[in-house]
Amino acid sequence: MTINNKIKKIKVGMASCGIAAGAEDVLNILKEHSADILIDEVGCFGHCYCEPVVEIETSDGESIIYSHVAANEKSIANILELGEDGRFEINPKRKAKELLKVTRLAGVIDPTSYEEYVENGGYVGLKKALAMNKEELIDEVKKSGLRGRGGGGFPTGMKWGFLAAKKAEQKILICNADEGDPGAFMDRSLMESVPHQVLEGMLIAAYATGSTRIFIYCRAEYPLAIKHLNIAIEQIKEHKLNIIDGRDIDIFVKEGAGAFVCGEETALIHSLEGQRGTPRFRPPFPTDSGWKGYPTMINNVETFGNIPYLIAEGAESYASVGSEGSKGTKLFALAGDLDNPGLVEVPMGISLREIVFDIGGADPEKTKAVQTGGPSGGCIPVELFDSLVDYDSLKALGAIMGSGGMIIIGKNRCMVETARYFLDFTHRESCGKCTFCRVGTKRMFETLERITAGEGLVEDLDFLAEMGPKVIKGSLCGLGQTAPNPVLATLRYYRHEYENHVNNKQCEALSCDKLVDIELNKDKCIECKLCIKNCPVDAVSDDFVIDNNKCTRCNTCIEVCPKDTIFRVKKGEGFYSE
């Protein structure tokens, strides 16, 4: 196999997204055929839809990216010869809209290499911070305008100031790496790709606040992130970077069990103490009394990931990016009905339209809405996509920034079913401590179940509109305080869909199983019998008629039909309905 002599280094994306797509096999075959070339296992490129991804650095400074790389000799030979097949160019629109600050080294360096991180500007922020007095450092964070990226958006510098002002034998610093939002992977990607950057942010915070111990509360479902964090922690200890103010700062990784409620800081602290993860009343706030009664401060992964470059570049430079009240950049995990799902980093104040269409590649003609803020976020209709993405603008629309999940919803989706789907998750994740969250979300979910089954009443819509605010007001933590958002937002913008379900027993999007039939158009059928062979409940007869009383609406027959002759129709309105 020929190797082009211009190749200087080969980078293989080995974050979770790459590994899931087969990057490990690609790496092994590359090593087998290019023993004399330096191969770096790097983190996430952000273009998750293109995995496996391989980047070639040439001796003349060129960077060539290959996407969807197959683990076979023909594909690898093409890469090693710098062939044209599979070359990937970043969409110019995306390139113009993105601003890589927090993720500038993701997909660039080996996550397990201390030397590569330092060579690329790592620990410059820590060195600069240690040369400042603590008050000056905290003031720098305040002037930057950085707000917590975990969802609440609390001013970071203000929170640091609360802990710094406390006098105590021990002060505890916690990194919230629980990231329980389905479809969100911003924190995981940072920990996998640039663990030293996240830890550097924690060390700067520990110096500023006088913290004596650091915990990283990371969900156990992130084994690669935990592995890279532990490697980085050992390297930090080896280079004595954890010795601050003359004493060793212990750093621990605590593996969580994946409870969504443990994203709330007091529930997280209870879990860290070995108790059941439930929130408590505040005050006292954690900075007054947290882990085992000691003053405790919690920031999330992305917040800490902002700190090194904030300090290295300075507050003024940091604050020059973003909008009023929302400074810096924000990471979003794009998913749903779009062409280019993956991780993006954009300046605060960008419009939803630019993210969804220019970066995500969604089709404007087929897009109905976007849901921001994870399962507790609100759904924003396409007519409002010129709205800016910042804390205050999203809140005014009935949505939230959240930790950065963003799901694009196509016109083929039912908004009532969408609300039911998200509430199904949040009501199950309730810890049960607060009556309104435990019972209120359950009753709202049951109401949505009836509506999507065609059994809803007009009174149900009033119940949902009334119960949602009560759940928000009567809940201790962010789970209950935001769980009704998908329902309230869809009621606000898509009430006509609810009314159609209730009044006409119809689902225009043909999503709600109880309100549709499955029909086969025998005039176009070629009688290949794939539908009969693949139906799991024998609902298709030998004469190609579908028995909708047997049918489970699993869509298997629709998916296997080579001529698209089987489809969903409104209940009672098919070709052969009486």
Q: Is residue 103 part of a domain?
A: no
Both 395 and 300 in a single domain? no
The answer to whether residue 1 is domain-embedded is no
CATH of the domain at 453: 1.20.1440.230
Examine the domain organization and report whether 193 and 57 are in the same domain: no
CATH code, 564: 3.30.70.20
**321 domain residue, yes or no:** no
**What is the domain-level CATH number for residue 390?**
3.10.20.600
Q: 494 and 536: one domain?
A: no
Q: Say if 201 falls within a structural domain.
A: yes
- Output the six-digit token pair for 521: 């158009």
pTM of the model: 0.93
Q: What is the CATH number of the domain that holds 27?
A: 3.40.30.10
How many domains does the structure of the chain reveal? 5
Token digits of residue 370: 């976007």
Element (H, E) at 369: strand 367-372
CATH of residue 281: 3.40.50.11540
Would strands 250-256 and 213-219 be described as parallel, antiparallel, or unpaired?
Answer: parallel
Number of CB atoms found within 10 A of residue 373's CB? 24
Q: pLDDT 10s per residue in the chain (578 long)? A: 778 889 999 999 999 999 999 999 999 999 999 888 999 999 999 999 999 999 999 999 999 999 999 999 999 999 999 999 999 999 999 999 999 999 999 999 999 999 999 999 999 999 999 999 999 999 999 999 999 998 789 999 999 999 999 999 999 999 999 987 777 899 999 999 999 999 999 999 999 999 999 999 999 999 999 999 999 999 999 999 999 999 999 999 999 988 889 989 999 999 999 999 999 998 999 999 999 999 999 999 999 999 999 999 999 999 999 999 999 999 999 999 999 999 999 999 999 999 999 999 999 999 999 999 888 889 999 999 999 999 999 999 988 888 788 999 999 999 999 999 999 999 999 999 999 999 999 999 999 999 999 999 999 999 999 999 999 999 999 899 999 999 999 999 999 999 999 999 999 999 999 999 999 999 999 999 999 999 999 999 999 999 999 999 999 999 999 999 999 999 877 655 44
Strand partners, 540: 546
**Which one-letter amino acid corresponds to residue 2?**
T
Q: Which residues, other chains included, contact 459 with Cβ-Cβ below 8 Å and sequence gap of 6+?
A: none
- Output the DSSP codes for 362-387: --TTTEEEEEESGGGSEEEEGGGTTS
CB 449 within 8 A of CB 515: no
The answer to whether 188 and 221 have CB atoms below 8 angstroms apart is no
The pLDDT score that the predictor gives to residue 449 is 98
Q: Kindly state whether residues 274 and 331 are assigned to the same domain.
A: no
Residues 197 and 122 in one domain: yes
Q: Which residues contact 577 (CB under 8 A, 6 or more apart)?
A: 517, 519
Task: Tell me the DSSP string of 462-513.
Answer: HHHHHHHHHHHHT-SSHHHHHTTHHHHHHHHH-HHHHHIIIII---TTS--G
Is 2 domain-assigned? Answer: no
Q: Would you say residue 77 lies in a domain? A: yes
Burial class (CB in 10 A: 0-12, 13-18, 19+), 61: exposed
Instruction: Based on the fold, state whether residues 312 and 450 are members of the same structural domain.
Output: no
**Are residues 150 and 271 located together in one domain of the fold?**
yes
509 within some domain: no
Q: End of a domain among 450, 473, 504?
A: 504
Tokens of 282: 């505040």
Q: Are strands 296-300 and 250-256 parallel, antiparallel or unpaired?
A: unpaired
* End-of-domain residue from the set 262, 294, 316: 316
AA letter at 319: A
Query: Residue 307 belongs to what domain range?
Result: 114-316
Q: Are residues 256 and 296 in the same domain?
A: yes
DSSP for 38-88 reads EEEEE---S-GGG-S-EEEEETTS-EEEE-S--SSHHHHHHHHTT-STTEE
Q: Is there a single domain that holds both residue 142 and residue 258? A: yes
The reported pLDDT for the residue numbered 577 is: 45
What tokens appear for 432 in the block? 């049960």
Q: Is 84 a domain residue?
A: yes
Whether 282 and 266 have beta carbons less than 8 Å apart is answered as: yes
Domain end marker among 316, 347, 379: 316
Q: Are residues 403 and 436 in the same domain?
A: no
Q: In this structure, are 370 and 460 located in the same domain? A: no
User: Same domain, yes or no, for 400 and 333?
Assistant: yes
Distance CA 353, CA 32 (A): 45
